[in-house]
């Protein structure tokens, strides 16, 4: 289903759309307050961009260095060319340790690889332990946002889910009560888990260590209690040195939620005696994206979600309408790189207002990359008949100024005089969900000439 | 070809020409703030509590009056045998820490810009401790407050760390309709004693 069709499903509940829009704008606002309080924020963004660009330009060597150091630290390193291989590796490690119960802390990579169904098919219990992720897991949905996975759910919906699955009392959606119940439920899972899976926010070539950021402490509760810790990372998570964390940790949480830093920024390097630590390094299309000069900067992304919170389209269409693990502006750059035909509508799900690029902590030129995808897609994938024909017609009209002037006159008159029912009729997609302005009496051309005359 | 070779050779073939690593000029961030004041404000912003003590020896008595009648207590401060009700040596598995009420640890780096405190394996006898405890108390000397994360990493660089964590506030979540709830999977409260 294309983006606009999927969005129209979300748009059916107008009140919820308004609420979704406001909730995300609130987070965007918190981000603004936080970053305005940082002296040198723009330099920090430039450093973030520069460090990532440098790392990508030397990626193979940094990967080798990272592996070497991780091995020295007593960590086992695995490589996966695609999602399927990643799943098999994780499954193999779990089998080897006879692990039946797994606690997972938030990782968009394992979502991308569809790890949960793969493991569940073999009878392994996988519990997502980030509260938002647990909520969507109970609802049998996917996250609709990379930082706020359950942002599309109201508290009443969570209340019902918890009653059904965790046996809670009806509370009218009291967040304090529900979080407390989830804590009890998840603590049981942490205590009984055989293995823990986490994502990786940053991996450090110089030390072979990696950093995981959470507000809930779920990654740590999992990793320190279970005898086996598997960390899954995309190759783009690498940074050269530990000191560079100073740049990225300052950027990440402020951009994500307006916090000065996440509650827990955990630096894992060596397993404790007797325990096992594994790292799975995953490509799954990333080296392909690296080969595209126009789009490789999308690999700088540190998954803060700021571009989603600010995007006027995302806020009003919901994350699920993107039909991809990473939704929103950055997802609309990454997804076509994986499957151009399936995701051909995503780069058009943007106003190109540039707000995404303005907030991006690592200065990805998101909106210009979206524009570039549009040009490629228009050339390479079949376009809808209406769009193609109307574009052709417009081209002809623009080529003949006299004709353009005549049509303009009719259009202006119509906008002023025809009843709304006629103007907003079906063929006019611009009249969908909005009123068109009243037509001006003179054309821009006339106005401009008059202005010139007055100047003289 | 193994996936390792495959990924490495593709990364090598597809990467752009080498770009320089930027040199960080930390002077661009200097904002002249009062470090101790900023640190305390940030701890409160992220949901923690700050207590000023004159000497470290007073921490235990203050903790006891803040959290009366707790059953399972543990501290790494010197001379706190009376306070400690559990012995780590007697534990079979870290899972037995599930009912720990209060944990007191010392930190040697505090970051003013975000109220975060650094703990590493040197200060954490069992890694899960600061996460599994109900209430976490951290003790920090004023002298050890640095302005930004950059300076914290300069200090950390000199020590060999197998596991380390910046903790800023109690565990929290806003996953239910964006209302902030303190106390998710980790510690329910954080109190920082500064001396
Ligand atoms: S593209 Fe930039 S703004 Fe969007 S999630 Fe990634 S880092 Fe954040």
Which one of A190, A263, A291 has the shortest CB-CB distance to B171?
A: A263
A111-168: pLDDT as tens digits:
999 999 999 999 999 999 999 999 999 999 999 999 999 999 999 999 999 999 999 9
Provide CB contacts within 8 A for A449, sequence distance 6+: none
- This prediction's pTM: 0.93
Average per-residue pLDDT for chain A? 94
Residue A87's pLDDT is: 98
Contact A243 B178 (CB under 8 A): no
Mean local confidence (pLDDT), A29-43 = 97
The tokens 């942002």 sit on which residue?
Answer: A151
Q: What is the DSSP string of A246-312?
A: HHHHHHHHHHHHS-SS-SEEEEE-SPPTT-EEEEEEE-TTHHHHHT-TTTGGGGG-----HHHHH-H
**Ligand 1 center–CA A367 separation, angstroms:** 12
Give chain B's residues under pLDDT 70: none
**Phi, psi (degrees; rounded to nearest 5) at A88:** -65, -40
Q: Are A93 and A194 in contact (CB under 8 A)?
A: no
d(CA B15, CA B18): 8
**Cβ within 8 Å of B, A 397-416:** none
Provide CB contacts within 8 A for B92, sequence distance 6+: none
Pocket test for ligand 1, best of A28, A51, A302, A313 (most atoms within 8 A of CB): A302
Would you place residue A342 in the very low, low, confident or very high pLDDT band (cuts 50, 70, 90)?
Answer: very high
Residue A397's pLDDT is: 85
Both tokens of A352, joined, read 């190109």
What's the distance, Cα to Cα, between the start and end of chain A in Å? 56
Considering only A364-373, A432-441, B149-158, B175-184, which range has the smallest mean pLDDT? A432-441
d(CA A325, CA A114): 10
- Determine contact: B44 vs chain A, CB below 8 A: no
Would you place residue A422 in the very low, low, confident or very high pLDDT band (cuts 50, 70, 90)?
Answer: confident
Please list every residue in chain B whose beta carbon sits closer than 8 Å to the beta carbon of residue A148: 174-175, 178
Cα–chain center distance at A28: 14
Residue B41's pLDDT is: 97
Both tokens of B46, joined, read 């992220």
Asked whether the predicted pLDDT for residue A437 surpasses 90, the reply is no
Pocket test for ligand 1, best of A307, A322, A350, A365 (most atoms within 8 A of CB): A307
Residue A424's pLDDT is: 79
CA-CA-CA-CA dihedral for A450, A452, A453, A456, to nearest 10: 160
Q: Are A299 and A286 in contact (CB under 8 A)?
A: yes
Would you place residue A418 in the very low, low, confident or very high pLDDT band (cuts 50, 70, 90)?
Answer: confident
What distance in Å separates residue B91's CA from the closest CA in chain A?
13
**Ligand 1 center–CA B31 separation, angstroms:** 27
Mean local confidence (pLDDT), A372-376 = 95
Atom of ligand 1 nearest to the CA of A328: 4
3-state class (DSSP) for residue A213: strand
Residue A225's pLDDT is: 96
Asked whether the predicted pLDDT for residue A433 surpasses 80, the reply is no
Q: Are A23 and A340 in contact (CB under 8 A)?
A: no
Q: Which residues of A321-341 are buried (b: 16+ CB within 10 A; e: fewer)?
A: bbbbbbbbbbbbbbbbbeeee
Residue A393's pLDDT is: 86
C-beta of A49 in contact with ligand 1 (< 6 A): no
Pick the residue whose CA is nearest to atom 2 on ligand 1. A360
- Determine contact: B92 vs chain A, CB below 8 A: no
Would you place residue A386 in the very low, low, confident or very high pLDDT band (cuts 50, 70, 90)?
Answer: confident
């Amino acid at each position: 289903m294309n983006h606009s069709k999927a969005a129209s499903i979300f748009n059916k509940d107008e009140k919820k759309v308004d609420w979704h829009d406001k909730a995300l704008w609130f987070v965007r606002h918190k981000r603004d307050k936080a970053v305005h309080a940082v002296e040198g924020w723009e330099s920090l963004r430039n450093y973030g961009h520069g460090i990532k660009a440098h790392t990508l330009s030397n990626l193979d060597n940094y990967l080798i260095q990272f592996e070497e150091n991780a091995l020295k630290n007593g960590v086992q390193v695995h490589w996966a060319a695609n999602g399927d291989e990643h799943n098999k590796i994780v499954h193999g490690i779990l089998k080897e340790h006879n692990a039946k119960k797994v606690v997972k802390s938030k990782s968009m990579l394992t979502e991308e690889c569809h790890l949960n169904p793969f493991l569940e098919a073999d009878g392994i219990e996988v519990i997502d332990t980030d509260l938002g992720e647990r909520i969507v897991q109970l609802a049998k949905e996917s996250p609709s946002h990379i930082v706020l996975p359950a942002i599309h759910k109201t508290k009443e919906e969570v209340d019902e889910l918890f009653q059904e699955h965790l046996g809670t009392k009806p509370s009218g959606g009291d967040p304090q009560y529900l979080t407390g119940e989830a804590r009890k439920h998840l603590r049981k899972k942490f205590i009984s888990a055989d293995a823990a899976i986490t994502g990786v926010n940053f991996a450090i070539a110089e030390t072979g260590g990696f950093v995981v950021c959470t507000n809930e402490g779920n990654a740590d509760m999992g990793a320190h209690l279970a005898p086996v810790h598997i960390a899954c990372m995309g190759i783009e998570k690498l940074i050269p040195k530990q000191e560079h964390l100073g740049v990225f940790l300052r950027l990440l949480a402020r951009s994500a939620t307006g916090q000065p830093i996440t509650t827990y920024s955990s630096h894992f390097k060596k397993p404790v005696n007797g325990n096992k630590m594994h790292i799975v390094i995953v490509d799954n299309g990333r080296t392909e994206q690296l080969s595209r000069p126009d789009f490789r900067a999308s690999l700088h992304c540190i998954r803060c979600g700021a571009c989603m919170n600010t995007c006027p389209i995302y806020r009003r269409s919901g994350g699920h309408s993107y039909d991809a693990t990473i939704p929103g502006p950055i997802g609309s750059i990454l997804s076509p790189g994986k499957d151009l035909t399936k995701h051909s509508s995503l780069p058009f799900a943007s106003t190109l207002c540039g707000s995404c690029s303005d907030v991006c902590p690592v200065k990805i030129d998101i909106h210009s990359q979206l524009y570039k995808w549009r040009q490629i897609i228009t050339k390479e994938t079949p376009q809808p008949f209406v769009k193609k024909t109307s574009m052709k017609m417009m081209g002809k009209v623009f080529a003949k100024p006299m004709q353009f002037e005549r049509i303009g006159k009719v259009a202006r008159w119509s906008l002023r005089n025809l009843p709304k029912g006629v103007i907003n009729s079906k063929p006019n997609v611009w009249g969908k969900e909005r009123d068109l302005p009243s037509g001006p009496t003179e054309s821009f051309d006339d106005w401009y000439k008059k202005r010139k005359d007055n100047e003289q | 070809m193994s996936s390792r070779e495959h990924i490495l050779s593709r990364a090598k073939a597809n990467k752009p020409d080498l770009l320089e690593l930027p040199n960080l000029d930390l002077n661009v961030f200097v904002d002249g703030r009062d470090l101790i004041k900023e640190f305390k404000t940030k701890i409160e912003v992220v949901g923690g509590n700050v207590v000023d003590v004159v000497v470290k020896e007073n921490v235990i008595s203050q903790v006891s009056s803040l959290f009366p009648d707790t059953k399972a207590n543990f501290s790494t401060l010197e001379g706190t045998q009376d306070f400690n009700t559990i012995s780590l040596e007697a534990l079979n598995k870290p899972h037995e820490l599930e009912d720990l009420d209060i944990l007191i640890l010392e930190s040697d780096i505090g970051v003013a810009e975000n109220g975060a405190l650094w703990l590493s394996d040197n200060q954490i006898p069992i890694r899960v401790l600061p996460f599994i405890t109900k209430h976490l108390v951290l003790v920090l000397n004023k002298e050890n407050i640095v302005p930004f994360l950059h300076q914290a990493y300069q200090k950390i660089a000199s020590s060999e760390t197998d596991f380390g964590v910046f903790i800023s506030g109690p565990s929290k979540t806003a996953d239910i309709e964006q209302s902030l709830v303190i106390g998710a999977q980790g510690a329910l409260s954080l109190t920082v004693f500064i001396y």
